[in-house]
Amino acid sequence: MSILVKDSIIVTQNADRKIIEGDVYIEDDKIVEVGSVSVEADFVLKNKIVLPGLINMHTHLPMTLLRGYGDDLPLEEWLTTRIWPVEAKLREKHIAIGTKLAFMEMVSTGTTCCNDMYFFEDIIAKEAKSFGMRCYAGFSIIDFDTPEMKAEHLLPECEKFVKKWKDDEIVKPVVAPHSTYTCSPETLEKANEIAGKYDTFIHIHCSETRKEVYDVLNRYGSRPLEQIKKYGLLTGKTMLAHCGWITKGEVKEIAKAKACVIHNPVSNMKLATGGYTPLPELMSEKACIALGTDGAASNNKLDMFETMKFTALIHKHHRWDASIVKAQEVLDMATINAAEFLGLNAGSIEEGKFADIICLDKISPNLIPRHNIISHLVYAASGFNVSDVVINGKAIMLDKKFMNINEEKVYEEAEEAKEELIE
């Protein structure tokens, strides 16, 4: 397949963060030429703002089925009376449909790669493969029985899952011990062994709430990040979701280990976790920061444009300093920073990179006049501006139409799943 994007503004996100006017030519899975291109192509798009696809680094994909179910409740009550009882009823078919819906929402709002963590991750991986979504699929490890299997089967099944997917082109297996409050030290160590044996990433929740920090401290005598470090999980292949309640010392530890902090500002605010991921401190220590939406039950969207905007706003407001987090820095978190951390040959529009790109219509009322494109992308654009999405060189959505999925069927099945899950 070949795709040519003509007469467009190209936000390259290359080393110089250059913005150029011109064309992008894609052949097979790669960006072949950027600049002034005159060739024939299977698909030709015109007058776009082209940028690297956004990378959503923290999701629980099937939770789209729980979107809007039990909002505006205190966290404990929300989990115990709404989320957990419904999750207990989840079966394979629900996971498949919730995941499809998540991919459709993510693609339609400009995401080309996600880093997930949930039960039934093998079903999620299969859905990613058939949809064409680039997906880091985190097999959840937890010390309780899950809707999918008994607790004692999780570690061996995780290893099988990693073996099964490790050589796939677009789906990468990840070991995902849920957190230090739901995984014992033994579980953390065993999860780490699997990750080490197959050289995979680790994805774990860390210091999301103050209660979590003190529960872990009371139980083990150390804070969540200390637990993670103590059992060998704090490395350059570790992704720490949230970090809303970490100390300045922990910021330094994370930077030193070259781990990645995944900031989920919308979910944190909606669940009222109270803490602020210390972005300015992490940035001054040159720690890797990426962005995530978290699951649709606690966001309630998977729109990374919204997450970018909230990322900038929450810290400006909190620190009384409008210059503390800049639009370019936020766009970097959602693209090139995440790609570099993942060792993924994407995240920028350059010759030889994987063709994971998104287009916005250049002529849109909220994107004119064009004083500053980067500012527009972070503060003015929304997922609704996204018109076309290419992942690994494949056209997944063109002119807002999905190329390979029956949309109506997914909506119908999602409504049916809702009826089954919530009586």
Sites of contact with Zn ion (CB under 5 A): 294
Shortest distance, position 139 Cβ to Zn ion, whole Å: 15
Cβ-based nearer residue to Zn ion, 113 or 389: 113
Shortest distance, position 296 Cβ to Zn ion, whole Å: 11
Cβ-based nearer residue to Zn ion, 29 or 294: 294
Alpha helices in 185-303 (DSSP H): 185-198, 210-220, 224-230, 248-257, 265-270, 279-284
**Consecutive H or E run containing 387:** strand 386-391
Cβ-based nearer residue to Zn ion, 294 or 306: 294
Residue 224 near residue 184 (C-beta atoms within 8 A): no
Q: Give CA separation, 60 vs 40, 154, 272, 278, 315, in Å.
A: 40, 17, 19, 23, 25
d(CA 131, CA 423): 30
Cβ-based nearer residue to Zn ion, 294 or 332: 294
With CB atoms as reference, the residue minimizing the distance to Zn ion is 294
Beta strands in 207-352 (DSSP E): 238-242, 260-263, 288-291
Task: Name the packing angle between helices 92-108 and 407-421 (round to 10°).
Answer: 130
3-state secondary structure of 289: strand
Cβ-based nearer residue to Zn ion, 23 or 148: 148
Shortest distance, position 294 Cβ to Zn ion, whole Å: 5
CB atoms within 10 A of CB 152: 10
Give the torsion sign (CA, 116, 120, 122, 128): negative
Residue 202 near residue 237 (C-beta atoms within 8 A): yes
Structure tokens given for 324: 């503390």
d(CA 118, CA 139): 6
Cβ-based nearer residue to Zn ion, 294 or 413: 294
Shortest distance, position 92 Cβ to Zn ion, whole Å: 21
Q: How many residues does the chain have?
A: 423
d(CA 341, CA 106): 21
Strands 48-52 and 357-361: antiparallel
Residue 390 near residue 48 (C-beta atoms within 8 A): no
Structure tokens given for 122: 């093998």
Smallest CA-to-CA distance from 259 within 250, 268, 267 is with 250
Cβ-based nearer residue to Zn ion, 7 or 76: 76
Shortest distance, position 60 Cβ to Zn ion, whole Å: 6
Beta bridge partners of 51: 358
Residue 357 near residue 52 (C-beta atoms within 8 A): yes
Shortest distance, position 241 Cβ to Zn ion, whole Å: 5
Shortest distance, position 407 Cβ to Zn ion, whole Å: 27
